[in-house]
C-alpha cells in the first residue's frame, strides 16, 4: 500500500479569470510573481513595469492563467495548457 509521494506536491487548483480580479490586486500579484526569485530586471534592460505589462499581455492572450491552489491557499500564474 504505497502512496505516490509526488501526488503530495501537485497543485489542486481552480482557474481564476484575471478579469474578475481587482486591477490593483492583479498588478500586485503580478509584481510579486515577477520578483519572486529576487530578479533585477534592470540588469537585462527591462523594468519591473515592463515585466508586469508582459505578464498582463500573456494573460490577455491566454498564454498564462491565474490559478488558486486549494491545498496551499495561494495564487500562482502558470502556463495555460
36-64 confidence digits (pLDDT tens): 876 665 566 788 899 999 999 999 999 99
Alpha carbon separation from 81 to 24, 26, 70 (Å, rounded): 26, 21, 19
66: domain range?
A: 12-79
Number of folded domains in the chain?
1
Residue 10 has pLDDT above 50, yes or no: yes
Would residue 75 count as lying in a domain? yes
Confidence of residue 7 (pLDDT cuts 50, 70, 90): very low
Contact 41, 51 (CB under 8 A): yes
CATH code of the domain containing 26: 1.10.10.610
Residue 58 resides in a domain? yes
Residue 26 lies in a domain: yes
* pLDDT score at 12: 75
Q: Classify residue 16: in a domain, yes or no.
A: yes
Long-range contact list for 54-60, CB < 8 A, 24+ apart?
55/30, 56/26, 56/30, 59/18
pTM score, two decimals? 0.75
Q: For the chain, give the mean pLDDT.
A: 83
Q: What is the maximum span of the chain, computed from C-alpha positions, in angstroms?
A: 53
Residue 36 lies in a domain: yes
pLDDT at 2 over 50: no
Residue 1 lies inside a defined structural domain of this protein: no
CA distance 8 to 50: 35
Amino acid at each position: 500500500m504505497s502512496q505516490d509521494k509526488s501526488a503530495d506536491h501537485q497543485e489542486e487548483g481552480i482557474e481564476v479569470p484575471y478579469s474578475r480580479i481587482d486591477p490593483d490586486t492583479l498588478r500586485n500579484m503580478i509584481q510579486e510573481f515577477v520578483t519572486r526569485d529576487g530578479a533585477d530586471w534592470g540588469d537585462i534592460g527591462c523594468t519591473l513595469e515592463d515585466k508586469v505589462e508582459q505578464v498582463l499581455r500573456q494573460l490577455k492572450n491566454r498564454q498564462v492563467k491565474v490559478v488558486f491552489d486549494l491545498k496551499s491557499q495561494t495564487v500562482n500564474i502558470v502556463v495555460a495548457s
